[in-house]
Chains A and B, each alone.
Chain A
C-alpha cells in the first residue's frame, strides 16, 4: 500500500496527493495526519488535490473527516487546487463537502489559515481588554 507523505512547513502540515489513492491509502492518510497534528502541534493543514483527476464520495468523505478531526485537534484544514471538472462532478454527484474550507492554491490556503489564526487571537485579546475595562 502506498502512503501519502506529510510535509511540515512552519506551523502548517502540507499534504500533496499525487497518486490515485486506494481507499486504504486514504484511510491511512486520515490516521497519519491526526498523529502528525498532535506530534507537531501544527495549527493548519493544507491538502493539495491539484493532481487528483477525480474526487468520488469516498475521498470526499475522507476530506470531510480530516477537516473534522483537525478541528477537534485545534487545527484548521483547507483543501486547495480542486480542478474545475472535479468541482462540477462533485456537485452533480451530490457531495457538499460540509465543513471544508477551500482555496485556489497553496499560497491562498496558507493566507487563509494565517488570517483565521489572527482572527482567533484578536478575539482572545478583545475578550481580555473587555475584562480589564469591566474591572473597576
Chain B
C-alpha cells in the first residue's frame, strides 16, 4: 500500500507518443531533483518511470502519468501514478516475472521498475485498464 501525504499539486503528463515518454522522464527528473533525491535514486526513479511510461504507451494504448511530491513526516518523496484504459493484465504474476514479454521487448520493464522503487502498487482489470503507483523516498 502507498503511504504518505501529498504535498504539491500533481503535474500530469499525457502519454500518447514516443516524445511523451521523453517528457515523462524530464518531468520526473525535475521533481526528483526538487525533493533532493540522491543522484542514484534520481536515476533509478527516472529509469523506472521510463519503463512504465513506455508500457502505458505500448500495452495500455496510451494514458497518463501523474507526478506528485509526497511526505511521510520524516522523508520526502516522489509518487507517480501511471494510468491507462487499455486491455489490462490477465496474469499479473506472469507479467511481473523477469523476462516475460508479450511485446517483443526484454521483459524487464515491469519487474525491473518494481526493483528500482520503494513502493510499487498495481491495480489492473481485464478490459478496463491498469493503474500503477510507484514511490521513491529520500534517504
Contact = CB atoms under 8 A, between A and B. Distances in A.
A94 B112 contact: yes
A57 B53 CA distance: 12
Interface string B31-53: 00000000110111011001100
A57 B51 contact: yes
B13 to A, nearest CB: 14
Contact of B106 (A22, A23, A57, A85): A57
A50 B133 CA distance: 30
Interface in B46-72: 46-47, 50-51, 54
B40 A88 contact: yes
Given A22-B21, A89-B116, A93-B116, A61 B47 contact: no
A27 to B, nearest CB: 10
Interface in A15-45: 20-24
B108 A89 contact: no
A93 B115 contact: yes
A61 B18 contact: no
B105 interface: yes
Contacts of B115: 92-94
Interface string A59-84: 01100000000000000000000011
Interface stretch (B2-10, B22-30, B79-87, B124-132): B22-30
Interface size class of A (residues with CB under 8 A): 20 to 34
Contacts of A20: 22, 25-26
B111 interface: yes
B121 interface: no
Contacts of B111: 94
A10 to B, nearest CB: 33
**Most chain B C-beta atoms within 10 Å of own C-beta, residue among A56, A84, A89, A93:** A56
Contacts of B43: 53-54, 83, 85-86, 88-89
B106 A60 contact: yes
27 contacts: A20-B22, A20-B25, A23-B21, A23-B54, A53-B46, A54-B43, A54-B50, A55-B47, A56-B47, A57-B51, A57-B105, A57-B108, A58-B105, A60-B106, A61-B105, A61-B106, A85-B39, A86-B43, A88-B40, A88-B43, A89-B43, A89-B116, A92-B115, A93-B113, A93-B115, A93-B116, A94-B98
Interface of B: 18-19, 21-22, 25-26, 29, 39-40, 42-44, 46-47, 50-51, 54, 98, 105-106, 108-109, 111-113, 115-116
Interface of A: 20-24, 53-58, 60-61, 83-86, 88-89, 92-95
